[in-house]
Amino acid sequence: LTERLNQAFSRLKGRGKLSEADIDRALREVRLALLEADVNYRVVKDFVARVKERALGQEVMESLTPAQQVIKIVHEELIRTLGDKASPLDLSGPTPLAIVLVGLQGSGKTTTAAKLARFLKRRGRNPYLVAADIYRPAAIEQLKTLGQSLGLPVFEPQPGQSPPEIARLAMVQAKATGRDIAIIDTAGRLHIDEALMEELKAIKEATSPKEILLVADAMTGQDAVNMAKAFDEAVGITGVILTKMEGDARGGAALSIRAVTGKPIKFLGTGEKLEALEIFAPDRIANRILGMGDILSLIEKAQETFDQKKALELQEKLRREAFTLEDLRDQIRQIKKMGPLNQLLSLIPGMSKIKNLDSLGVDGKEFSRMEAIINSMTPEERRNPRILNASRKRRIARGSGTSVQDVNRLLKNFAQMQKMLKRVKKKGLRGLPFGPGT
């Protein structure tokens, strides 16, 4: 999607005034890009109409940089389509309170229950995991194992108890043992059926949950959207958690759910591990879709994975525009520790523009090469790469077992990152580099 959109805009760039025909042509490509990304067609239609109306307005036609204006409008409308603001969990009111997870079999409910428990625990809450999927004995075991790995208690049903009964008893138990949030993992089905919906309604009645969250597999695209609609009509959901997002390069479900159902996406699941849960933030997703990298996500991920102090240092450096090659190397080292590389790569500003991003694969050869290059520099060179002349570059290439081209590429990417960081800092989102050469 990112690539297609960039293509659509590249033709607008470098032009002075835009005609209505120019805008129409670009928007036709935007429309196709969105449809190809499996975004709901009505959402696409609305989206394009909104962008067009604004693009034909005075703000664009009379501006000196109309292409940038159009992209800015697309950016803003993407955010709007995604729901404007992050939509945090509603955890107000007397405790214990309940969060019920619903969804089809295999969508990731049990895993997400544990991810949420971890998330809440790290925020000082006392979550209680409740296994209300009695149809697959393995499901209870699965949740127990996950609970154990988090050091959190799991409510285990007795044979013969029905899911609504389990949910009710679990709330009593939560109260008695001082747990403040019960996360109730329910059974899924292969398809939506009446019996499942009745069961979910009874669980809802038994626990008066603050949140009923649909867990849906992002890779199923529009099916996930239809699922959200169906579950909402039957039981009433308060939000959606889209799982397996790391496998969905297209983003169709994420872009459609809010607009089609009116329900916010609250979290994204981005992997099988329990830390692979992200707060859904529309502006960040819009940035990613437009290929602008995502410093905030990187920092958040950094905070989750590396030690707090390092992450704060990085944040501070970004703020002071003092991001050096040494920091980049630090980042690379941390990232190498963090697991699936290609997923994280796209979060580094500027990285999404590197041509061979996809070919990097999980072995992270490119990263190791970058690290080796930085290692072969003197501390002085790392802090001030401008002093690198041809002979120094040759020495570095030899020392790191790479070529001068590799060294130059690293320096170029690094310069791009710095440029991007500078603009973000100066102007906030408005200053993000839409223009050529970024």
Q: Which residues bind Mg ion (CB under 5 A)?
A: 109-110, 139
Closer of 107 and 334 to ligand GDP (Cβ): 107
Stretch that binds ligand GDP, among 88-96, 108-116, 305-313, 322-330 (CB under 6 A): 108-116
What phi and psi values does residue 116 have, to the nearest 5 degrees? Answer: -65, -40
Residue 110 binds to ligand GDP (criterion: CB under 6 A) = yes
305 is in an annotated binding site: no
Residue in 66, 103, 163, 350 binding ligand GDP, rule: CB under 6 A: 103
Q: How far apart are CA 214 and CA 104, in angstroms?
A: 9
Neighbours of 296 (CB within 10 A): 15
Closer of 44 and 104 to Mg ion (Cβ): 104
110 is in an annotated binding site: yes
Binding at 199: pick from Mg ion, ligand GDP, none (beta carbon under 5-8 Å per type):
none
Residue 105 binds to ligand GDP (criterion: CB under 6 A) = yes
Q: How far apart are CA 213 and CA 211, in angstroms?
A: 6
104 is in an annotated binding site: yes
Q: How far apart are CA 50 and CA 83, in angstroms?
A: 15
Binding at 276: pick from ligand GDP, Mg ion, none (beta carbon under 5-8 Å per type):
ligand GDP
Binding at 140: pick from Mg ion, ligand GDP, none (beta carbon under 5-8 Å per type):
none
- CB pairs under 8 A, 24+ apart, for 4-8? 4/29, 4/32, 4/33, 4/36, 4/37, 5/30, 5/33, 5/74, 5/289, 5/290, 5/291, 6/290, 6/291, 7/33, 8/33
Residue in 83, 96, 108, 252 binding ligand GDP, rule: CB under 6 A: 108
Residue in 106, 178, 399, 431 binding ligand GDP, rule: CB under 6 A: 106
Give the pairing type, strands 154-155 and 127-132.
Answer: parallel
User: Whose CA is closest to 278, among 304, 312, 311?
Assistant: 304
CA distances for 51 relative to 54, 107, 121, angstroms? 5, 34, 42
400 is in an annotated binding site: no
307 is in an annotated binding site: no
Binding to ligand GDP (CB under 6 A): which residues in 227-246? Answer: 243-244, 246
DSSP labels, 57-102: SHHHHTSS-HHHHHHHHHHHHHHHHHTSS-------SSSSEEEEEE
Binding at 147: pick from ligand GDP, Mg ion, none (beta carbon under 5-8 Å per type):
none
Binding to ligand GDP (CB under 6 A): which residues in 249-278? Answer: 269-272, 276
Half-sphere exposure of 103 (CA within 13 A, CB side): 30
One symbol per residue from 180 to 199: x for binding ligand GDP (CB under 6 A), - otherwise; what is it? --------x-----------
Q: Is 38 strand, coil or helix? A: coil
Give the pairing type, strands 277-279 and 265-269.
Answer: antiparallel
CA 61 to chain centroid: 34
Shortest Cβ distance from residue 270 to ligand GDP (Å)? 6
189 is in an annotated binding site: yes
Residues found in the chain:
438
251 is in an annotated binding site: no
Residue 379 binds to ligand GDP (criterion: CB under 6 A) = no
14 is in an annotated binding site: no
**Binding-site annotation: residue ranges for GTP:** 103-110, 185-189
Q: Under the rule (CB under 6 A), what is the footprint of ligand GDP?
A: 103, 105-111, 188, 243-244, 246-247, 269-272, 276
